[in-house]
Amino acid sequence: MLNESDPELAAMAQEELTRLESRAAVLEEEIKVMLLPRDPNDEKNVILEIRAGTGGDEASLFVAEIFRMYSRFAEQHRWKVEVLSQSESGVGGLKEVIAIIEGKRVYSQLKYESGVHRVQRVPATETQGGSTPRPLPWPFCLRPKKST
């Protein structure tokens, strides 16, 4: 059809071919994901543990901020968050928080969130450069809740 003598028809065919080729690439990626074996934990709820690492008050404020972020994410997905324990700091932060997040496919959405999260801030006194701020790591644990 691209070799037709009608240039308008050939242009339309070329446009459609380009559109379909890009759609084929997207569909191919979707098929690859569908062919992957399912994680047996995907349907489970999770226990979320966030602990402040080195960094003092700044670390506890970051833990509170991260927990608030995950709580809002859970709220948007209509998941239930139940705090099992928390330890507050003197500046309004959290030294540690442990919570259960329950809902539809919670683990499948959060399973890649585990690990150490860190914040790296430049102090106001260092706006001109000079010393490099040290990264402050905070351990973060996410594990599937065992079925009862």
**pTM (2 d.p.):** 0.63
Helices (H) and strands (E) in the chain, counts: 3, 5
- Per-residue pLDDT of 15-32, as tens digits, reads 999 999 989 989 999 999
Which pLDDT value is given to residue 141? 56
The span from the CA of 29 to the CA of 96, in Å, is: 40
Per-residue pLDDT in tens (0 to 9) along the chain, 148 residues: 545 578 888 888 899 999 999 899 899 999 998 898 888 888 999 999 998 888 788 888 889 999 999 999 999 999 999 999 999 998 889 999 999 999 999 999 998 888 877 777 665 555 555 444 444 444 455 566 666 5
Three-state secondary structure call for residue 14:
helix
Helix or strand holding residue 128 (H, E) = none
Which pLDDT value is given to residue 40? 87
Which residues 6+ apart lie within 8 Å of 143 measured at CB?
46, 47, 49, 114
